[in-house]
Amino acid sequence: MEKVLDVMMLGQVRFHELSMRGRVVLSQLPFNVMLLLVCAIAAIADASVFTDPGFLIGQGIALVILILSFALPWDRLPYGLFLVLPILDFVPIGILHYSNADSLRGLNLLAVLPIMWLAGSGFRPRIMVPIGGLASLLIVWVPHFIDGTATPRTLAAEVLIPFMLFSIGIGTSVMTLSAMAQQERVEELLRRSETRERLLDTVLETVDVGVLVLDEEGQSAFMNAKQRQLYVAALPEGVPTDREEALLVFREGSEDPVPPDERVLRRAKAGETVEHEVFRLGRGAEARTVSISARPFDDAAGKRAGTVLASADVTDVVAAVHARDKFLAAMSHEFRTPLTNILGYAELLQDEEGLSPAARSDLQIMTRNARHLNHMVDGILAAALTGDEAAAIRLPLDLSELVRQAGDSSGPEAAGRAIMLNVSTDGPLPVLGDRTGLVRVLDNLVSNALKYSASGTTVTLTAAAEGRWAVCTVRDQGFGIVAEDLKRVFTRFQRSDAAVRSGVPGTGLGLALAKEVAERHDGELECTSEVGVGSVFTLRLPLRVPPTWSAPKR
């Protein structure tokens, strides 16, 4: 009842939130309130109606209907049965109208209330609205039949008001049905969005990727279980903290915490898009290596709504790569000693006198292949050494000189393959570098140019200054590299199908290492190639600026 009053006072509770009984009572109540008003009007206009049996019976029936609306268990009765009440309401209206139409005018207009209830319930409107219209017609026609005054003229004179009431019923019904259809659609949308939300929640909690959502103010709006785990890994031991700067975040291979401004969270808050940056969270055995990406997202109106951060735990992958490199390093170390022995003894044997030409030729083949194997083992070892081990001491070097040496040392191989090797250098090119590393890069580029070219072609080596760069190019007229392979030519262990098919031996490591060496020198290594025309590899290293001498001030 309290809730019924609350609705009537336009309070917090909405009509559809009431119980079935509440709704029935609230629909009946206005009719009885109107009848109370009729009593009040009668008291002033014509008190004699209070002794009129028709008036008293009409009021009595209306009261019984109100009591029924309270008393019956509408929740348990079939839905729609409550519409018996508005239909019954027409009876007291009819009696009141018949017995008091002269003293109290307009009593038949009370029919507007049950008609609106019938139409507004939305239940079987095609039946209920005509019933209401018919009942209001009977209210005005029946008295004529009882009194014997029913003529086409008298009956026609009464039709206007029932017709208006019927129209009100239709209008109410149309509005109710449209509101109901709209509500159904809203509920359907709500159901769908709830299902989507649950789906999203399940996906986010199932995937093995940490997800953090920041709202437009940069505050954390959502964090899945995996992200919480990663967050815990980054917490300094025994220090629960909310301060982002205190979290233990390192770059791979460094023990210095990443400065706050370089941390992905901070950059993401500033609206930056981050792609797969690798960090280590925490220290010791519990540390996790993660690859973090961050992307801002907009709302439907195109306004920045927040940022999503995704952290993939790549600890196992990184450990596997380290294990592979360690294995390669150990394996190539182990291969070196016996290989050096084989090579040494094969060379010694060649010096023996009295060897048959056939045996000498066999020994030469053995030596060549052992050298080749040695070269491959060197490459694998260099690939396995990363980080600090690979950083060599930088010395002042002349790139032109290194290029000339590479040409000289490859001369015999070029001659053996009947390939013309041209070397042209343009004065000294001072650079700061690791001699072994750079020699290996140049040797690799020249050796590839020779390996992947047919006899009778030309390989050209040039070295020249270009702006602040010392630039070396190795150009061949070989098979060339198809566009698809060109994209991966600097990826470790990648060899083109053409190279594999041609039977040219190789590991697919040389160019990857060469690029790493170039980048370690703050330089670049690039390749352009055209199938059937040839390839050009360009190595750029920063020219060393000699220290400037300034005259001492007098």
Binding string, 410-449, against ligand ADP, x = CB under 6 A?
----------------------------------x---xx
Which CB sits closer to ligand ADP, 508 or 523? 508
DSSP state, residue 257: B
Instruction: Choose, by CB under 6 A, the member of 56, 507, 531, 542 that binds ligand ADP.
Output: 507
Which CB sits closer to ligand ADP, 264 or 441? 441
Structure tokens at 525: 């290594």
Which CB sits closer to ligand ADP, 33 or 500? 500
Of 44-52, 189-197, 304-312, 503-511, which segment contacts ligand ADP by CB under 6 A?
Answer: 503-511
The reply to whether 511 sits near ligand ADP by the rule CB under 6 A is: yes
Nearest in space to 228 (alpha carbons), one of 215, 210, 250: 210
Q: Are 33 and 77 in contact (CB under 8 A)?
A: no
The residue of the chain with the least Cβ separation from ligand ADP equals: 506
Single-letter code of the amino acid located at 269: K
CA distance 218 to 270: 8
Structure tokens at 375: 């070269």
Sign of CA pseudo-dihedral 81, 82, 85, 87: negative
CA distance 116 to 109: 12
CA distance 403 to 405: 5
Of 128-136, 275-283, 331-339, 504-512, which segment contacts ligand ADP by CB under 6 A?
Answer: 504-512
Structure tokens at 247: 């979290």
Nearest in space to 423 (alpha carbons), one of 464, 391, 369, 484: 464
Residue 381 CB, shortest distance to ligand ADP, in Å, is 14
Which CB sits closer to ligand ADP, 119 or 328? 328
Residue 490 CB, shortest distance to ligand ADP, in Å, is 8
Which CB sits closer to ligand ADP, 265 or 509? 509
Which residue is listed with tokens 């220090």?
A: 239
Q: Are 83 and 132 in contact (CB under 8 A)?
A: no
Cα angle at 321 between 320 and 323, to 5 degrees? 60
Which CB sits closer to ligand ADP, 161 or 531? 531
Instruction: Indicate the SS3 state at residue 307.
Output: strand
CA distance 506 to 443: 14
Residue 460 CB, shortest distance to ligand ADP, in Å, is 12
Q: Are 250 and 280 in contact (CB under 8 A)?
A: yes
Which CB sits closer to ligand ADP, 23 or 440? 440
Which CB sits closer to ligand ADP, 108 or 535? 535
Single-letter code of the amino acid located at 69: S
Which CB sits closer to ligand ADP, 227 or 538? 538
Residue 451 CB, shortest distance to ligand ADP, in Å, is 6
Q: Are 450 and 414 in contact (CB under 8 A)?
A: yes
Residue 317 CB, shortest distance to ligand ADP, in Å, is 22
Structure tokens at 491: 């990826």
Of 186-194, 304-312, 403-411, 510-518, which segment contacts ligand ADP by CB under 6 A?
Answer: 510-518
Cβ burial of 406 (10 Å; 0-12, 13-18, 19+) is buried
Of 155-163, 321-329, 338-346, 494-502, which segment contacts ligand ADP by CB under 6 A?
Answer: 494-502
Q: Are 213 and 221 in contact (CB under 8 A)?
A: yes
Residue 419 CB, shortest distance to ligand ADP, in Å, is 12
Residue 440 CB, shortest distance to ligand ADP, in Å, is 11
Strand ranges inside 329-388, DSSP E: none
Instruction: In the chain, count H helices and then E strands.
Output: 17, 13
Which CB sits closer to ligand ADP, 209 or 482? 482
Residue 333 CB, shortest distance to ligand ADP, in Å, is 20
Structure tokens at 345: 């003894």
Enumerate residues 6+ apart whose C-beta is below 8 A from 490: 511, 512, 514, 515, 525, 527
Which CB sits closer to ligand ADP, 289 or 448? 448
Residue 511 CB, shortest distance to ligand ADP, in Å, is 3
Enumerate residues 6+ apart whose C-beta is below 8 A from 90: 111, 114, 135, 136, 138, 139
Binding string, 239-278, against ligand ADP, x = CB under 6 A?
----------------------------------------
Residue 378 CB, shortest distance to ligand ADP, in Å, is 12
Footprint of ligand ADP on 393-412 (CB under 6 A) = none
CA distance 87 to 133: 11
Nearest in space to 90 (alpha carbons), one of 69, 54, 114, 63: 114
Residue 429 CB, shortest distance to ligand ADP, in Å, is 22
Of 221-229, 230-238, 334-342, 509-517, which segment contacts ligand ADP by CB under 6 A?
Answer: 509-517
Which CB sits closer to ligand ADP, 25 or 481? 481
Footprint of ligand ADP on 455-484 (CB under 6 A) = 476, 478-479, 481
Binding string, 519-538, against ligand ADP, x = CB under 6 A?
----------------x---
* 151-171 CB burial, b ≥16 within 10 A, e <16: eeeeeeebeebbeebbebbbe
Instruction: Choose, by CB under 6 A, the member of 233, 506, 515, 540 that binds ligand ADP.
Output: 506
Instruction: Choose, by CB under 6 A, the member of 22, 162, 210, 510 that binds ligand ADP.
Output: 510
| # of chain residues touching ligand ADP (CB under 6 A) | 20
Which residues of the shown chain bind ligand ADP in the complex (CB under 6 A)? 444, 448-449, 452, 476, 478-479, 481, 489, 495-496, 499, 506-512, 535
